[in-house]
Structure 1
Amino acid sequence: MVNFPKQKDLIFRILIVILVSGSIQRENLCSNHPFAISTLSTPPLDSSILHLSLKMLDLEGHLNFDNISHAAKDFGNICHYLPSAILHPKSVTDISTTIKYIYDLGPSSGLTVAARGHGHSIEGQALAHQGVIVNMESLSGKNMDFHTGNAPYVDVSGGELWINILQESLEKGLTPKSWTDYLHLTVGGTLSNAGVSGQAFKHGPQINNVYQLEVVTGTGNVVNCSENQNADLFYGVLGGLGQFGIITKARIALEPAPIMVRWIRVLYSDFETFTSDQEHVISSPDSFDYVEGFVIINRTGKTLFCLEIAKYSYRHQDSESINQIIDAELSKLNYIPSTLFESEVSYVGFLDRVHISGMKLREKGLWDVPHPWLNLLIPKRSIHDFAQQVFGKILTDTSNGPILIYPVDKSKWEKTSMVTPDENIFYLVAFLSSAIPSSTGKDGLQHILKQNKRILNFCRKARLGVKQYLPHYHSQERWKDHFGPQWETFSRKKSTYDPLAILAPGQRIFTRAGRSQQQ
């Protein structure tokens, strides 16, 4: 709450509402996006009024109004717009106080709030034009509370990085069950989406490996929720794209940690054989512990497909039995024999391998470039039609970045807000492109964005039943189409937990009360 005498507080709030009423600017969220929708704007909010208003809050942490330009962009480096302030909270109360204050100002203020973890969103989802960015990493580094036993877990801050959780849990011989490919992301960020990697076929995504959450809703309320307590909010927030609350604490499921990993890659020239083998592997969850794959299209147009699998070892003396299992399982696959590549690496080295590659890109100055990524979930029935059209026809090579492709089993994906195709087996296909900022050729941003648009248009016209992962749309009608029959429930939860649409404006799903948006 605001630390004013009641009478002064009331007078101050009235003044703020009068001053800011009608002065909010609704600016296009991605003004430099080649396919963004233009919008008309009213005069911008008087920043001095906003600063005065927020500076009066009684916080343990602090609000920063200067040196905030880094929060105007994200990893995608496609959308750029400046917030008015960054909150560096020292407690959950700081987040609650700030949101409660903005909520109490009512619709007239038009202020929004976006939680920012490691800033790894692609299309401005974690940005807030003229709003308040909550630096969730300010809450990281708190003591992690481990509970061992038959069902071990750890309580962590929503701003904690997964790599830190891995390092701490390994000291106790434990590890989270499900991961993303990149571990230098925050808990709250991945749980607001899904958190998918090669373990998803076995354990489901990260959102299905959480026992409990602490959430600050769009009204400023701090709510503990789980499967048995406030379940409507619990399942709504998981995969809810930040629309119903900011995740400030999570109880993560753990399991015994492996020591070493046998890492195997094999190649295929035939897509049908490749997908058949991938589906065989995920149907035998006791064979391998990790399944992914990727597409290789060279400049001559020849396409190869790589199956990437891994088997965990929990004791050094298990080496012989692990070899027997691997040999038996590989004998069931139909890859090109001469392409078999095997290595043995540490568990940490395997899970954190993408970060190591990222460090090399940073050294070459190739990290802070635009990343027009496209992530799709494609039902099994459509994957061959998709591959036939996209691999080799729409795409002529994969020099702009890797293309991941692997199947998952929907039975492991429980009732959350995440939208998946209407089939038990579906594929994640991720086009992880990087653009050269100065280029106007095939490695330029506009070319890659047009290519992504061609892929999406094909999926839509061919009625493949595809859903976007980490979705981004520029109209509510497209969002309704994305959610399908889940839209009514999603919209109802928004009205319940964030009635003024204060939270996560960068998703562009709902319009902030007090603002207008041209669809």
Structure 2
Amino acid sequence: MNQQKTGLAGIIISQSPALGSYADVGGEQLWIDVLTETLKHGLSPVSWTDYLYLSVGGTLSNAGISGQTFRFGPQISNVYELDVITGKGDFVTCSTDKSPELFYAVLGGLGQFGIITRARIALQPAPKRVKWVRMLYNDFSAFSQDQERLISMNGIQEKDGADYIEGFVLMRQGPLDISFYPLSDQPKIVSLVTQYGIIYCIELVKYYDNSTQNSVDKDLQVLVQGLRFVHGFHFEKDVEYIRFLNRVHYDELILRKQGFWDVPHPWLNLFLPRSQISDFDSGIFKDIFLKQSITTGLIIIFSPIFNCFLFIFS
């Protein structure tokens, strides 16, 4: 085993023939610190949450779901081993081979079966940059079907699919955050939202590095070809990998300055079967939110697995 200690206490990066690269991380460590330390070695975990200033033990006690889940699984699917303090006060090292019942119970167990003090997390070579794309839709069926199409493209016909896919809602009654888009295009986006009342956005990301920088644009073109977004409402950025993963922190800094970050607000996660999402759109988004002019916070919609959509209200 080739073991490399990093400069931050609580994070040790190692490599073995059986597992490849991995990091042993204290449960109290924040994911942003894990990212920063692993990038120093050209490595990175593969599955994330949208917000990185959360503890490793905390997200692994839930699930750790984001736009990479469809491809790499949630964070709890990318853990090799745990150190756990049980309700009886026992200190147990567990994995799929050692105390597997405890291992699977603690991952996503909401802290009911033990407290995670260390996690061994899978690592892969980190990309350098990302192509960050947003596409706007005025039709929910096209929006949801295109999401399903995108998450099904990995490996099909030797095409390498997207690395991250999420969706969200832009509503006329706001708040309407259009800071991602070029200033010259923001008026037409506001006009589109005003016209339809509700607009849906697919957010797609494709990673690349020096070896794939000459092919990433072509790969991205293949991914979006045939998608049914509103003509002329396709937007793209090219940013560093860490800038994309840490994107919510930039919003946090703005909200903190405005005094809004710590304001209590509802938070609701709903998993819905594919068969019910159209009824949810018409019954909740259109018949309640739009008709009654109800102001909402951020609404995220994406498909972490086939035939299932996650709706996040915050």
TM-score range, shorter chain: 0.7 to 0.9
Task: Give the deviation of 1:400 after TM superposition.
Answer: 3.6
Structure 2: which amino acid aligns with 1:430?
I
Pairing of 1:71-82 with structure 2 (within 5 A): none
How many matched pairs? 277
CA contact (8 A) 1:408 1:425 kept: no
Cα deviation, residue 319, structure 1: 2.5
- Are 1:407 and 2:303 counterparts? yes
Q: CA deviation at 1:398?
A: 7.3
Secondary structure of 1:248's partner? strand
Match of 1:294 among 144, 154, 168: 168
Structure 1 Cα separation of the partners of residues 294 and 229 of structure 2 = 21
2-side partners of 1:180 and 1:296: how far apart?
21
State the SS of the aligned residue for 1:395: helix
Structure-to-structure mapping, 1:412-451, within 5 angstroms = 424-432=306-314
Distance 2:57 2:307 in 1: 27
Alpha-carbon separation, structure 1, partners of 2:199 and 2:139: 8
Match of 2:78 in 1: 209
Question: Which residue matches 1:349?
Answer: 243
- Provide the C-alpha distance between the structure 1 equivalents of 2:81 and 2:66, rounded to a whole number of angstroms: 21
Q: CA deviation at 1:193?
A: 0.3
Q: With structure 1 as the length reference, what TM-score do the two structures score? A: 0.52
Counterpart residue number, 2:182: none
8 Å CA contact retained: 1:269, 1:305: yes
CA distance in 2, matches of 1:214, 1:339: 48
Deviation for aligned residue 1:393: 1.8
Task: Write the letter of the residue equivalent to 1:206.
Answer: Q
Alpha carbons 2:10, 2:29 under 8 Å: kept: no
Provide, for residues 249-271 of structure 1, a one-character-per-residue CA deviation record: whole Å limited to 9, x for no partner.
00001111000000000101110
SS across alignment from 1:275 = helix
1:161 aligns with 2:161: no
Question: What are the Cα deviations for residues 214-272 of structure 1, in whole angstroms up to 9, with x where unaligned?
Answer: 00011100001000110000000000010010000000011110000000001011100
Whole-angstrom CA distance in 1 between matches of 2:297 and 2:217: 33
Deviation for aligned residue 1:187: 0.4
Cα root mean square deviation, aligned? 1.4
Q: Which runs of 5+ in 2 are unaligned?
A: 1-7, 155-159, 174-193
Correspondence for 2:220 among 319, 326, 332: 326
Q: Deviations over 1:161-199 (max 9, x none)?
A: 000000000011100010000000000100000001100
Unaligned runs of 5+ in 1: 1-140, 410-423, 433-519
Q: Who is 2:190 aligned against?
A: none
Q: How far does the alpha carbon of each residue in 1:384-435 deviate from its partner, in whole angstroms, 9 at most, with x for none?
A: 11111111222236754210000022xxxxxxxxxxxxxx521111011xxx
Percent identity (aligned)? 47
Secondary structure class of the residue paired with 2:288: coil
The aligned residue for residue 235 of structure 1 is: 104
| Shift, 1:147, TM fit | 1.3
Using the size of structure 2 for normalisation, the TM-score is 0.85
Distance 2:272 2:81 in 1: 30
CA distance in structure 1 between the aligned counterparts of 2:133 and 2:15, rounded to whole angstroms: 32
Match of 1:198 in 2: 67
Aligned with 1:374 (options 268, 279, 282)? 268
Secondary structure of 1:391's counterpart equals helix
For residues 378-393 of structure 1, what are the structure 2 equivalents within 5 Å?
A: 378-393=272-287
Which one-letter code corresponds to 2:13 in the other structure?
Answer: F
Equivalent pair of 1:158/1:187 in contact (CA under 8 Å): yes
Match for 2:136 among 256, 267, 271?
267
Match of 1:184 in 2: 53
Contact 2:61-2:111 at 8 Å conserved across structures: yes
Residue 200 of structure 2: aligned partner: 305
Separation in structure 1 between the aligned mates of residue 244 and residue 15 of structure 2, nearest angstrom: 25
Aligned partner letter, 2:38 = S
For 1:394, what is the secondary structure of its paired residue? helix
Q: Secondary structure at the match of 2:214?
A: helix
After alignment, is 149-158 or 207-216 more displaced? 149-158
Query: 2:180 maps to which residue?
Result: none
In structure 2, how many angstroms separate the alpha carbons of the residues matched to 1:358 and 1:398?
Answer: 24
Structure 1 residue 279 and structure 2 residue 148: aligned? Answer: yes
Q: How far apart, CA to CA, are the structure 2 residues paired with 1:153 and 1:394? A: 47
> Do the aligned residues in 1 keep the contact of 2:133 with 2:205 (CA within 8 Å)?
yes
Q: Deviations over 1:90-138 (max 9, x none)?
A: xxxxxxxxxxxxxxxxxxxxxxxxxxxxxxxxxxxxxxxxxxxxxxxxx
SS at match of 1:359: helix
CA distance in 1, matches of 2:199, 2:213: 31
More strand by share: 2
Indicate if the aligned counterparts of 1:297 and 1:392 stay in contact, CA closer than 8 A. Answer: no
2: CA distance, partners of 1:273 / 1:200:
21
Q: Give the letter aligned to residue 350 of structure 1.
A: F
Q: Name the CA distance, whole Å, in 1 between partners of 2:16 and 2:161.
A: 26
**Is the Cα contact below 8 Å between 1:178 and 1:206 reproduced in 2?**
yes
Query: C-alpha distance in 2, partners of 1:425/1:400?
Result: 26
The SS at the match of 1:166 is helix
Deviations 1:305-349 (A, max 9, x none): 00000000121x533310111112211211112101001010000
CA contact (8 A) 1:295 1:304 kept: yes
Which of 39, 61, 65 matches 1:170? 39
